[in-house]
Each structure stands twice: as C-alpha cells, then as structure tokens.
C-alpha cells in the first residue's frame, strides 16, 4: 500500500500509465469543491475565451465550458495521459468546436497572443519550472483586461508535508504569488484565502 501511494505521488506533476489515470480520476472528484470555490471568485462571461493550464482529468474544462457557453474553452497539459482523459471528459464540446485540448506547458503555450479573456491554473503552479517565463506567457495570451486565476489547496510554504512526498512540488504562499504576479506586470493582484489553507490569486493584465 505504501509503495502504491509513493508511486501515485510521483505521478502528480505528470500523470502517466494506469496509476496516472487512477490519479486523474481521483483529482476530478477530490478537487471539485476547491475548483468551484475558486471559480466563484471571478465572473466568466458566456462569450469568454478561456484557457486552463494543466487541465489534468478535464473536470475543470467541463466547468469552464458550462460558464463560457458561447466562447472557446481550451486546455493544455504536459501529460499525454491527462490529454487523453481531458479529451474524453469534454468530447462533446470538442465535436461542436467549443473546446480544444493541446499538448503544452505554462512556459510554452500553443496559442496566439491576446486570445483569452480568462486563464486558469488549478493545483498546478506547484510544478512550474520557471514561474517568471510562465507568467510572461500567460500575459502574452491574455487580452488586455483579461484575468489570470490561480487556485491552490496548499499555501503554507513552511509546511513541507506535501512537498516532501510529491516529486517536484514547490508550495508558494499567497504573498509570494502576489509578488510574482505584480513583477510580471499583472495589476491589482488579489489573494483570497480560507482557514483550511486554500487560496486563489487573481491578477488582471
């Protein structure tokens, strides 16, 4: 059991194989409350174009597609396993041309400048290798006035309980993220937090 848990945790940053699919299934269920809370902090117009970075199992793409019902919703991930699961999760939206799922990273987003009204990142910035480059890329693909929403369950940078067992995970606090947003040129960066440690950071281009 312990070995299986360790293998699952190794999969968090880039799910692969059967264990990766199991992890994505669990994330789709387990992150639901967190995702709904994060999305409740912003308004997504029905005609908005939205990008979800690190789309994982695709549950948040479905949530975004329901909100941006007349817009384009896109997801990117560096995990082929995640891309497969996401495409299945939003297959009907892909067929009607309302959704695209592509291979890509936060540091190299495969979409043109100024396409999106909203960019989201749920439980994924922990694994970004180059935050400065990633934030520049997010700014590049956002429209003027567009919003970037980061939602994290873990926000205590001094607590290593997760980063010690999850490969490649770095926990950043709200103040650290806000400073990074502002350094990257996002205005009015706002941090919303709860007593259980979850946070969301919202910045405008």
Q: Which domain holds residue 101?
A: 2-39+47-204
* Mean pLDDT, rounded, for 113-126: 97
Q: 162: pLDDT confidence band, cut at 50, 70 and 90?
A: low
Instruction: State the angle between helix axes of 32-39 and 59-67 in degrees (0 to 180), rounded to the nearest 10.
Output: 30
Instruction: Specify the 3-state DSSP secondary structure of 129.
Output: coil
Residue of 203, 172, 174 whose CA lies nearest to 186? 203
Q: 197: pLDDT confidence band, cut at 50, 70 and 90?
A: confident
Q: What is the CATH number of the domain that holds 116?
A: 3.40.50.150
* Residue 13, pLDDT score: 56
Rounded distance between C-alpha atoms, residue 76 and residue 122, angstroms? 12
- For the record, the structure tokens of 5 come out as 């848990």
- pLDDT at residue 19 above 50? yes
Q: What percent of the chain has pLDDT above 70?
A: 79
Residue of 46, 78, 74 whose CA lies nearest to 60? 74
How many structural domains compose the chain?
Answer: 1
Contact 49, 70 (CB under 8 A): no
Q: Are strands 50-53 and 73-77 parallel, antiparallel or unpaired?
A: parallel
């Amino acid at each position: 059991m312990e070995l299986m848990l360790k293998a699952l945790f190794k999969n968090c940053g880039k799910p692969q194989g059967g264990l990766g699919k199991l992890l994505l299934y669990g994330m789709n269920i387990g992150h639901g409350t967190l995702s709904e809370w994060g999305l409740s902090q912003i308004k997504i117009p029905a005609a908005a174009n939205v990008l979800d970075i690190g789309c994982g199992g695709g549950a948040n793409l479905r949530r975004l597609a329901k909100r941006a019902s007349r817009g384009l919703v896109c997801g990117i991930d560096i995990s082929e396993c995640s891309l497969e699961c996401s495409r299945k999760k939003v297959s009907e939206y892909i067929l009607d041309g309302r959704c695209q799922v592509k291979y890509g990273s936060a540091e190299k987003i495969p979409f043109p400048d100024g396409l999106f009204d909203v960019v989201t990142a749920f439980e994924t910035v922990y694994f970004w290798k180059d935050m400065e480059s990633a934030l520049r890329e997010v700014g590049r693909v956002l429209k003027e006035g567009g919003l970037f929403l980061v939602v994290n369950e873990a926000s205590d940078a001094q607590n290593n309980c997760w980063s010690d067992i999850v490969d490649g995970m770095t926990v950043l606090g709200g103040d650290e993220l806000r400073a990074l947003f502002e350094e990257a040129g996002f205005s009015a960066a706002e941090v919303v937090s709860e007593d259980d440690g979850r946070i969301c950071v919202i910045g405008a281009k």
